[in-house]
Amino acid sequence: MKIRIKFRKSGVMKFIGHLDIMRYFQKAMRRADIDICYSEGFSPHQIMSFAAPLGVGITSDGEYLDIEVHESKSTKEAMADLNATMVEGVEITGYVKLPDNAKTAMSLVAAADYNLFFKEGYEVPFTKTEARQAILEYFITPSEVLITKQTKKSEKIMDLKQLVYDFKVEGTEEAPEFYINLCTGSSDNLKPELVLESLFGYMNIPYNANAIQIHRLDVYAKEGDKFVSLLDMGEEIA
What pLDDT digit, counting tens, does each position of 78-123 carry? 999 999 999 999 999 999 999 999 999 999 999 999 999 999 999 9
What is the pLDDT at residue 186? 67
Report CA-CA distances (Å) from 207 to 195, 198, 204, 211.
11, 9, 9, 8
Mean pLDDT for 54-72 is: 95
Q: Where are the domains of the chain?
A: 2-107, 123-207
For residue 221, the SS3 value is strand
For residues 54 and 112, the answer to whether their CB atoms sit within 8 Å is no
At 146-191, the pLDDT tens digits run: 988 777 777 888 899 999 999 999 999 999 999 999 999 766 789 9
Q: CA torsion, points 30, 32, 34, 38, in degrees to nearest 10? A: -10
Give tens-digit pLDDT for 2-61.
Answer: 999 999 999 999 999 999 999 999 999 999 999 999 998 888 999 999 998 899 999 999
Tell me what pLDDT residue 43 has.
87
**What local confidence, expressed as pLDDT, does residue 225 receive?**
85
Q: Angle at Cα 78 formed by Cα 231 and Cα 64, nearest 5°?
A: 30
- What 13-20 contacts at long range (C-beta under 8 Å, 24+ apart), as own/partner pairs, is 13/87, 13/88, 13/89, 13/90, 14/54, 14/56, 14/57, 14/58, 14/59, 14/89, 15/56, 15/57, 16/56, 17/56, 18/50, 18/53, 18/54
Query: What is d(CA 235, CA 26) in angstroms, rounded to the nearest whole number?
Result: 23
Question: What is the pLDDT at residue 149?
Answer: 79
State the pLDDT at residue 188: 76
The pLDDT value recorded for residue 99 is 94
- pTM of the complete model: 0.92
In this model, does residue 141 exceed pLDDT 90? yes
Q: For residue 133, how many C-alpha atoms fall within 13 Å in the half-sphere facing its CB? A: 7
Cα 171 to Cα 193: distance, rounded to the nearest angstrom: 18
pLDDT of residue 230: 94
Residue 153 has a pLDDT of 75
Higher pLDDT, 214 or 224: 214
Determine the Cα angle at 186 with ends 56 and 209, to 5°. Answer: 30
Contact 101, 69 (CB under 8 A): no
Answer CATH for 2-107 from 3.30.70.100, 3.90.550.10, 3.30.70.580, 1.10.4160.10: 3.30.70.580
Pair 95, 230: CB distance under 8 Å: no
Q: Rounded mean pLDDT of the chain?
A: 94
